[in-house]
Amino acid sequence: MPVPSGAKEGPSRPRPSGSPGRIPRHGMDPAAAAAAVRHRLRDDAEPARNLATFLTTSFEPEAERLHNAYLNRNLADREQYPAVDELVQECVRILGELWRGDHTRVVGSATTGSSEAALLAGLSLLHRWEERAGSGVRRPNLVMGAGVHACWRNFCRHWGVEPRVAPARPGCIGLDGAAAAELSDESTIGVVAVLGGTLDGRYEPVLEIATELDRAAAQSGIDVPVHVDAAGGGFIAPFLDPELEWGFDLPRVVSINASGHKYGQVPPGLGWVLWRDRDHRSRRLGFPVNYLGSNHTYHEFSFSRSAAPVVLQYYNFLRYGFAGYRRIHARSRYLAQDLAERLRATGRFRFLGDGRDLPVVAVTAEPDLKLSQLARQLGECGWAVPVYQLPPDLDELTAMRVVVRSDLHPADVSSFAAAVDQFTRSTK
């Protein structure tokens, strides 16, 4: 989420009363400790009613059991858990095929989320540009639309890359082909095209972006690779938008990331990054480690963590299959579009996203309707929804976003829309 310019870090939260801030001298029995923890967390949002998050918030009992059973396996320990490592590779092949790559050639990693995936993909673009450009004093840049997730600015900040951002225009936050080509030059390490924007849920036109870059390459010889940030869309488009061209079938697309823990239906802690083949992944990302036994090469930033999210990703592929994922996401898209229609009927909102791409509804409102007040009112009904400032040059506008996930029910859509309707009537 973009931080409004000039925003300062808030004061640190006061410690809850009764919290001593140090480890107790003696322990307590498990039930008492668990009750104390639950008590401390009691006022946080109820995940299933948190319409701000893209993350999966509900799981079938079988999935929970499987998750718990593999919680104690370290994903990094390829020596002792080679079958887990093979699951990672199998998931990479499955995703490679879903993203229209050659599943015998794609390579990739399980990450903690799309943020780590973006750092890896960005670094690979940077290394490969350095190899192409040779030594020199030019500062590398990365071309992106105004609505990119903060992880891309994070990458640019930490690796000294200029974020070259196309400004948002009325009705459109995303990057288009003309802007991508215009902003790219010989110092461009790559273009990030987003399949499912964080702020609006809309797909950027990856085919158009790739085509314009092809045209620019033919004219100027400047050959700029595309990375697709499909954090949300990587698990939606293959199932719901088979006609859309956005993946490895476009030769200019060198790498793609997605969040397993979003529409991949996995608990928090899993992302994926894939390259179309070994040649398109920087060799310098590989890091040899042998302290666990024999030699292994890691391409991730983080090492030890639970293997359970990867186990669940593979489980989900078996459990749902293509048809199951399609059914789950078609339902969410239907509900998002239904919600958008109900909000449209109030006549008070303008739509940035209406559920046609990601199952996300994002709106701005008439000047006399304060979205922050609406969000507060919805909060009193138990619904958590974010209100945020749009990026430059639309930053005088605020927007509100509802993420529809598989655990939202039609009755929830009705009651949410009724609460919005009641608020809009009270402010007429």
Ligand X SMILES: Cc1ncc(COP(=O)(O)O)c(C=O)c1O
Residues that bind ligand X (CB under 6 A): 54, 113-115, 118, 149, 151, 194, 196, 198, 229, 231-232, 259, 271
Minimum distance from residue 7 beta carbon to ligand X (Å): 19
Residue 210, Ramachandran bin (φ over 0: left; ψ between -120 and 50: alpha; else beta) = alpha
Q: How many of the other CB atoms lie within 10 Å of CB of 172?
A: 17
How many whole angstroms separate alpha carbon 82 and alpha carbon 125? 29
Closest to ligand X by CB, 78 vs 229, is 229
Closest to ligand X by CB, 300 vs 346, is 300
Closest to ligand X by CB, 312 vs 417, is 312
Closest to ligand X by CB, 118 vs 123, is 118
Closest to ligand X by CB, 81 vs 301, is 301
Minimum distance from residue 170 beta carbon to ligand X (Å): 21
Residue in the structure block whose two tokens are 């639950």: 38
CA atoms within 13 A on the CB side of 352: 30
Residue in the structure block whose two tokens are 């990601």: 358
In terms of C-beta distances under 8 Å and separation of at least 24 residues, what long-range contacts does 360-363 make, across chains too?
A: 360/196, 360/200, 360/201, 360/232, 360/336, 360/401, 360/402, 360/403, 360/404, 361/201, 361/336, 361/401, 361/402, 361/404, 362/199, 362/200, 362/201, 362/399, 362/400, 362/401, 362/402, 363/399, 363/400, 363/401
Torsional sign, CA 44, 49, 53, 58: positive
Minimum distance from residue 234 beta carbon to ligand X (Å): 10
DSSP conformational letter for 269:
S
Closest to ligand X by CB, 198 vs 282, is 198
Minimum distance from residue 301 beta carbon to ligand X (Å): 12
Bond into 393 cis (ω within 30): yes
Residue 201, Ramachandran bin (φ over 0: left; ψ between -120 and 50: alpha; else beta) = left
CB 386 within 8 A of CB 1: yes
The tokens for 241 are: 């938008």
CB 234 within 8 A of CB 257: yes
Closest to ligand X by CB, 229 vs 300, is 229
- Give Cα separations from 160 to 48, 186, 411 (angstroms): 39, 16, 49
Minimum distance from residue 231 beta carbon to ligand X (Å): 3
Minimum distance from residue 230 beta carbon to ligand X (Å): 8
Closest to ligand X by CB, 259 vs 313, is 259
Strand intervals (E) in 79-224:
107-111, 141-145, 162-166, 188-194
Closest to ligand X by CB, 232 vs 309, is 232
What is the full DSSP assignment across 239-250? HH-TT---STTS
Q: How many of the other CB atoms lie within 10 Å of CB of 153?
A: 17
Closest to ligand X by CB, 57 vs 115, is 115
How many whole angstroms separate alpha carbon 306 and alpha carbon 71? 5
Closest to ligand X by CB, 223 vs 407, is 407
- Give Cα separations from 298 to 85, 108, 284, 420 (angstroms): 11, 10, 11, 49
